[in-house]
Chains A and B, each alone.
Chain A
Amino acid sequence: MAGPIDLYDVANAERDARAHFSRRAFVCTSTGCLSAGASAIKQQLTDTVTDAGQEQGVQVVPTGCFGLCSRGPLVRVETRDQQPTLYEHVDTDTAQLIADDHLLEGRQASADTVSLELPFFARQEKVVLSNAGKIDPDRIEDYVGQGGYRALQSAVETMTPEGVVKTILRSGLRGRGGAGYPTGRKWEFLSLADGDQKYVVANGDEGDPGAYMDRTIMETDPHRVLEGLSLAGYATGASQGYIYVRAEYPLAIERLERAIREAKRAKLIGRNVLGSDFRFDIEIRIGAGAFVCGEETALMKSIQGERGTPTLRPPYPTERGLWGKPTMIQNVETLANVPVILERGAEWFASLGTSESKGTKVFALTGSLNNTGLIEVPMGITLREIVEEMGGGIPDGRAFKAAQSGGPSGGCIPAPYLDTPVDYENLQKLGSMMGSGGLVVMDETVSMPEVARFYMEFCRDESCGKCTPCRAGTVKMHAFLDRIVSGVGRRRDLQHLESLCHTVRATSMCGLGQSAPNPVFSTLEHFRDEYLELLVPDEAFGPDGNGSSPDAQRAVATSPGGVR
């Protein structure tokens, strides 16, 4: 049996191979651009180059997400002597132009381009997505060529597991799945847990509407997830890792599967990782697309092949998790940060971001914006910078109204708070949350009660049904919202809605139910007038409407929960 590959040999060979090419075209092959015809474009570029017999000097690379998804399909051309050019909205016609003029002749094609100086690109700080648009996700050599797996190598060769945990603790990295729990603390819990068998799980069950950060990371740089997960295993003493991906992400699954196969062949995971005594295996588990399976206890049930419903905590997964063994669940983006932290040091990482929230955060920027797509920004950037500069403002000169962060568990941030630095604490103070990174921008034409109804419909459909308040409560909250939005709501409907929101938040079993009322609370806090305008006034119900009718009395008698 051959030993593990030599990372430096592979990287050097890659660099030499790259030096042969005078021109390189990078075609985005993430889900967004693929659905717009990127694979045909890539084929066309390759064919043209091959037909011209130039494949020794010109390379066409299928790569991961460039970020500016609203302008896809995107093709970037790099040559030795010119600045890189990014072509937007490429179709078969422009692809032919790009191939003929730029790839073969070396002069810029007369096709639509995007300036790489745009704030959308210039303001980004790429840590997790540093390889996005640079490497072919299907080739392990590309990842190694960018310095990949060196963090794992130096960890297993020169560091103790405790040393790795301490580094992560010092870096101040916090969970990117939403709650922002300190990652190092979780690692510490698992490393101290008793057990002959421990598990680490990468949570790729991203479910928030409009969010695709984790999908992009898995599609763009699958080996980074594997390396992060292996490092988590090494630090905590786990020998088995799982990547839980939802079935709606077939491309991510395909690329991860290929990555696992190649990493095993290169002895980067498996029985003796990089020739050391550390044993670590990774398997993929495919979720059936239930939102609640992103909750850690439901996720573990699903991995075990059971019905994906949450269970009571405590015991916490790090005490009793998969099959009763200590288990740690980490978001994909969290794990993707780990190799960089070990390579560049905890202090470097801690220098990014704010005092409580370190590093960067990937956001999926969607909604009423000129530039939508995926961005990675340092923590502490203001919402105004994201929306106005990077997002390029709202189309057609409309005014910004609010941004929803944290998906159905989060809340909206209205215009007066645009200058708030984005980090875990500030968003929580505003009644929202960081969430996994979905950021939906809404303009002045949007009705906030309708937004609340949309998210409540989502929660209603995704409730697992185990606990009463979430199962039945989301149905009734949605019914109240529907009545209000449809213009037949009365004041007591709003009162019942609010009291029910308090009960569902206070009594639900897991995060789904506890946070389901958040969009209602936050839209009510900032846009209560919009709700009141939609209500049918009490006077409309005749002379008894002011409190003498049984209906009005009942409305008064039902005081909101939380008030004694």
Chain B
Amino acid sequence: MSPRTGPRPNVPVTIDGVEHKAFEGETVLELAQRVGVRIPTLCHLEGLSIYGGCRLCVVEVTGDRRLSPACALEVTAELEVTTQSWTLHEHRRRIVELLFAEGSHVCAFCVSSGSCELQDLATEHDVDHIHYDFAHPDAGIDASHPKYSLDRDRCVMCTRCVRVCDEVEGAHVWDVAMRGSQGRIVAGMDQPWGEVADCTWCGKCVLVCPTGALSFKGRATSEMVHDPEVVAFLSTAREQGEWLDRKADA
């Protein structure tokens, strides 16, 4: 997000008992990140549209029975949120466990081990054991692209790739097919990725993938390092017009 100019933050918001001043229109997650309060996220990525699907950033709002996703919750005056509680921790841990159980996430031979947001979330939420049956899916590997490969069994359906390709690159190669636990990421009209002419080979989807689902070819275990911040950099640079050669204009 671009550094805010204009009015100073003036919306009083209490996070975990500490009062902060928020900018108008800011989300609780943005405020928390600005003031250094950690709220776990997975599908959210700065620079992309808000999705609200992973449900890891849910927070308690005083006076509201229901939990709200911090990524989409806009600040209002006197808003009081709790980001850490035993209940929230338990909910989040179960969600992380569900993600592990529905996919095939074996860190020991994953290309992204060490650069994986799911792995980090598991550590953060004390996941030392999965209490649910593993689904052992066989959704297939698509290695038809010359540069990249997709392992759907490692996909957590965050749709970052779908959004970055549509919103930043403008190619809309990726989309979601089917529904529920059968849902999966497909390229083009459910074609092999390598045959989709719209793909510009830009690799943004690979850089933003939180797990080892999308990776550069030729990387061995733990060698794939993602760079999700590239999207924030791109959108900031676009907003600031950093593309333009100002000297040449002058």
B partners with A: yes
Interface residues in chain A, defined as those with a beta carbon under 8 Å from any beta carbon in chain B: 290, 292, 307, 311-312, 314, 460-469, 471-476, 479, 496, 499-500, 502-503, 506-509, 554, 558-559, 561-564
Q: Within 8 Å CB of B156, what residues of A?
A: 468
Using CB atoms, name the residue of chain B closest to A514: B66
Q: Within 8 Å CB of A290, what residues of B?
A: 179
Which of A474, A479, A496, A507 sits near B58, CB closer than 8 Å? A507
Which of B54, B129, B131, B181 sits near A460, CB closer than 8 Å? B181
Give bound CA distance, A558 to B98, whole Å.
Answer: 14
Instruction: Say whether B133 contacts A564, CB under 8 Å.
Output: no
Question: Whole-angstrom distance from the CB of B79 to the nearest CB of chain A?
Answer: 14
- With A312-B50, A500-B94, A554-B131 known, 15 other A-B pairs at CB within 8 A are A290-B179, A462-B179, A464-B180, A465-B183, A467-B54, A469-B55, A469-B94, A469-B98, A479-B133, A496-B132, A499-B94, A507-B95, A509-B53, A509-B55, A558-B131
Knowing A312-B69, A496-B131, the reply to whether A507 touches B180 (Cβ < 8 A) is no
Q: Within 8 Å CB of B102, what residues of A?
A: 471-472, 475
Instruction: Say whether B69 contacts A465, CB under 8 Å.
Output: no
Give bound CA distance, A563 to B157, whole Å.
Answer: 29
Instruction: Say whether A559 contacts B157, CB under 8 Å.
Output: no
Instruction: Say whether B157 contacts A471, CB under 8 Å.
Output: yes
Instruction: Say whether A472 contacts B99, CB under 8 Å.
Output: yes
Question: Whole-angstrom distance from the CB of B1 to the nearest CB of chain A?
Answer: 19
Give bound CA distance, A475 to B133, whole Å.
Answer: 10
Q: Within 8 Å CB of B99, what residues of A?
A: 468, 472
Question: Whole-angstrom distance from the CB of A304 to the nearest CB of chain B?
Answer: 15
**One of B84-92, B105-113, B192-200 contacting the partner:** B84-92
**Interface residues in B32-71 (C-beta closer than 8 Å to A):** 50, 52-56, 58, 66-67, 69
Instruction: Say whether A467 contacts B52, CB under 8 Å.
Output: yes
Chain A CB within 10 Å — which of B72, B90, B95, B135 has the most?
B90
Give bound CA distance, A496 to B133, whole Å.
Answer: 11
Provide 20 A-B residue pairs closer than 8 Å at the C-beta atoms, listed in order of the A residue.
A307-B175, A461-B180, A463-B179, A463-B180, A465-B182, A467-B53, A468-B53, A468-B54, A468-B95, A472-B181, A475-B135, A475-B181, A499-B94, A500-B132, A506-B91, A507-B58, A507-B67, A509-B69, A562-B87, A564-B85
Q: Within 8 Å CB of A469, what residues of B?
A: 55, 94-95, 98
Which of A465, A468, A476 sits near B132, CB closer than 8 Å? A476
Using CB atoms, name the residue of chain B closest to A558: B131
Which of A465, A496, A559 sits near B181, CB closer than 8 Å? A465
Question: Whole-angstrom distance from the CB of B38 to the nearest CB of chain A?
Answer: 18
Question: Whole-angstrom distance from the CB of A362 to the nearest CB of chain B?
Answer: 29
Give bound CA distance, A108 to B135, whole Å.
Answer: 64
Tell me how many residues of B have a C-beta within 8 Å of chain A.
38
Give bound CA distance, A462 to B157, whole Å.
Answer: 17
Knowing A463-B180, A564-B85, the reply to whether A473 touches B98 (Cβ < 8 A) is yes
Instruction: Say whether A472 contacts B101, CB under 8 Å.
Output: yes
Question: Whole-angstrom distance from the CB of B175 to the nearest CB of chain A?
Answer: 8
Q: Which 4 A/B pairs are nearest by Cβ-Cβ distance?
A: A465-B183, A472-B98, A463-B180, A472-B102
Question: Whole-angstrom distance from the CB of B146 to the nearest CB of chain A?
Answer: 29
Using CB atoms, name the residue of chain B closest to A313: B72
Q: Within 8 Å CB of A314, what residues of B?
A: 74
Q: Within 8 Å CB of A460, what residues of B?
A: 180-181
Instruction: Say whether A554 contacts B129, CB under 8 Å.
Output: yes
Give bound CA distance, A460 to B135, whole Å.
Answer: 14
Knowing A471-B157, A507-B55, A564-B86, the reply to whether A476 touches B91 (Cβ < 8 A) is no
Q: Within 8 Å CB of B98, what residues of A?
A: 468-469, 472-473, 476
Q: Within 8 Å CB of A496, what residues of B?
A: 131-132
Q: Within 8 Å CB of A509, what residues of B?
A: 52-53, 55, 69
Question: Whole-angstrom distance from the CB of B223 to the nearest CB of chain A?
Answer: 28
Q: Say if the beta carbon of B189 comes within 8 Å of chain A.
A: no
Q: Within 8 Å CB of B183, what residues of A?
A: 464-465, 471
Give bound CA distance, A378 to B241, whole Å.
Answer: 65
Give bound CA distance, A149 to B181, whole Å.
Answer: 47
Q: Say if the beta carbon of B176 comes within 8 Å of chain A.
A: yes
Give bound CA distance, A469 to B157, whole Å.
Answer: 12
Using CB atoms, name the residue of chain A closest to B156: A468
Using CB atoms, name the residue of chain B closest to A465: B183
Give bound CA distance, A502 to B175, whole Å.
Answer: 31
Give bound CA distance, A500 to B91, whole Å.
Answer: 8
Give bound CA distance, A472 to B99, whole Å.
Answer: 7
Q: Within 8 Å CB of A503, what residues of B?
A: 90-91, 94-95
**Interface residues in B81-140 (C-beta closer than 8 Å to A):** 85-87, 90-91, 94-95, 98-99, 101-102, 129, 131-133, 135
Question: Whole-angstrom distance from the CB of A428 to the nearest CB of chain B?
Answer: 13
Using CB atoms, name the residue of chain A closest to B65: A506
Q: Within 8 Å CB of B50, what residues of A?
A: 312
Q: Within 8 Å CB of A475, what residues of B?
A: 102, 135, 180-181
Give bound CA distance, A134 to B90, whole Å.
Answer: 57
Give bound CA distance, A465 to B135, whole Å.
Answer: 15
Using CB atoms, name the residue of chain A closest to B66: A506
Give bound CA distance, A473 to B131, whole Å.
Answer: 12
Instruction: Say whether A471 contacts B52, CB under 8 Å.
Output: no
Give bound CA distance, A506 to B72, whole Å.
Answer: 16
Chain B CB within 10 Å — which of A290, A468, A500, A559 has the most?
A468
Instruction: Say whether B176 contacts A508, CB under 8 Å.
Output: no
Q: Within 8 Å CB of A473, what residues of B?
A: 94, 98
Which of A465, A500, A558 sits near B180, CB closer than 8 Å? A465
Give bound CA distance, A298 to B85, whole Å.
Answer: 31
Q: Within 8 Å CB of B181, what residues of A?
A: 460, 463, 465, 471-472, 474-475
Q: Within 8 Å CB of A476, what residues of B?
A: 98, 101, 132-133
Using CB atoms, name the residue of chain A closest to B102: A472
Question: Whole-angstrom distance from the CB of A512 to the nearest CB of chain B?
Answer: 10
Question: Whole-angstrom distance from the CB of A441 to the nearest CB of chain B?
Answer: 29
Q: Within 8 Å CB of A564, what residues of B?
A: 85-87
Question: Whole-angstrom distance from the CB of B93 to the nearest CB of chain A?
Answer: 9
Give bound CA distance, A554 to B101, whole Å.
Answer: 17
Knowing A465-B157, A564-B86, the reply to whether A312 touches B72 (Cβ < 8 A) is yes
Give bound CA distance, A559 to B86, whole Å.
Answer: 11
Instruction: Say whether B180 contacts A471, CB under 8 Å.
Output: yes
Using CB atoms, name the residue of chain A closest to B72: A312
Give bound CA distance, A466 to B157, whole Å.
Answer: 8
Question: Whole-angstrom distance from the CB of A497 to the nearest CB of chain B?
Answer: 10
Using CB atoms, name the residue of chain A closest to B54: A468
Q: Within 8 Å CB of A508, what residues of B?
A: 55
Question: Whole-angstrom distance from the CB of A460 to the nearest CB of chain B?
Answer: 7
Give bound CA distance, A380 to B223, whole Å.
Answer: 66
Using CB atoms, name the residue of chain B closest to A308: B179
Chain B CB within 10 Å — which of A292, A314, A561 has the most?
A561
Instruction: Say whether B180 contacts A561, CB under 8 Å.
Output: no
Instruction: Say whether A462 contacts B53, CB under 8 Å.
Output: no
Using CB atoms, name the residue of chain B closest to A513: B55
Which of B91, B129, B178 sits near A507, CB closer than 8 Å? B91
Give bound CA distance, A362 to B183, whole Å.
Answer: 36
